[in-house]
Amino acid sequence: MNVLIVEDNKERIKEFLLRLKEANVTKENGDNIYICQTVDKTIKLLKKLHKEKRSSFDLIFMDHDLSEDIIYGSPFESLKPQYKKNTGNRLLELITQNNLWALVLNHNSNNKLFIIHSYNALGADEMLRQCARQFCRAYYVPEIWKKENFHKYIILHTETVRTLEFCTENTYRNYMNKLYETRYKTSSQSKKS
């Protein structure tokens, strides 16, 4: 599983890592967990992974206000020019400009989860709009790093992804064939009766 955390708050990062560990998503289990605290570092990472032709992320957690200088609780603070360059909105703009959406999320898969977790509701709303323009399904879940929220949204998702990773195309095809045969036989037997 590939996980990207874009967050500048060190306490939240610790919480994310703890929650991921509780969900059995760890480097020891072969999972890739990337943590970026700024827009520049995130774009550098994405470009590097794109160049290496890495697969897209299964889970993305993204904050809007990526600067400790921004006054939390004041959503308009992030609109000031000196802070605007280090926000989730700016990051999504750069992802678009650099054609990195395919790496961020595979549009053909429903098994990917993009969570915007900022307390800045105005910034998060604009991020959701940017994602929608790219046909990327994203969710706004403030405080996703808290245990009750993480379990509700993420634990069930990671279990589904891990199950699907073990399901090969042949297994899926066999399952669909059996399902079709069962339905076909049932419907044809009903018509005969």
Residue 140 domain-assigned (yes or no)? yes
* pLDDT score, position 73: 46
* pLDDT score, position 168: 43
Nearest to 151, CA basis, from 37, 24, 29? 24
* pLDDT score, position 79: 54
* pLDDT score, position 14: 96
Residue 177 domain-assigned (yes or no)? no
Instruction: For residues 96 and 88, give the distance between their C-alpha atoms in angstroms, rounded to a whole number.
Output: 12
* pLDDT score, position 172: 46
* CA 154 centroid distance within chain: 10
Instruction: For residues 70 and 76, give the distance between their C-alpha atoms in angstroms, rounded to a whole number.
Output: 9
User: Could you tell me the two tokens for 119?
Assistant: 């307390």
| pLDDT tens-digit map of 106-147 | 555 556 788 999 888 888 888 998 888 887 878 888 889 998
Check which CATH number belongs to the domain holding 117 and give it. Answer: 3.40.50.2300
Residue 183 domain-assigned (yes or no)? no
Instruction: For residues 15 and 154, give the distance between their C-alpha atoms in angstroms, rounded to a whole number.
Output: 14
Which residues of the chain are modeled with pLDDT < 70? Answer: 68-84, 105-111, 155-193
Residue 184 domain-assigned (yes or no)? no
Residue 181 domain-assigned (yes or no)? no
Residue 193 domain-assigned (yes or no)? no
CB count in 10 Å sphere of residue 100: 18
Helix (H, G, I), strand (E, B) or coil at 59: strand
Which residue in this structure is represented by tokens 């939390």? 72
Q: How many CA atoms lie within 13 A of 21 on its CB side?
A: 7
Kindly report the pTM of this predicted structure: 0.75
Which runs of consecutive H residues, i.e. helices, occur in the chain?
10-22, 39-51, 81-84, 88-97, 101-104, 121-133, 147-150, 156-166, 169-192
Residue 47 domain-assigned (yes or no)? yes
Residue 41 domain-assigned (yes or no)? yes
Instruction: For residues 128 and 89, give the distance between their C-alpha atoms in angstroms, rounded to a whole number.
Output: 9
Strand partners, 36: 6
Number of domains in the chain: 1
* pLDDT score, position 38: 93
154 touches 144 (CB < 8 A)? yes
Instruction: For residues 111 and 66, give the distance between their C-alpha atoms in angstroms, rounded to a whole number.
Output: 27
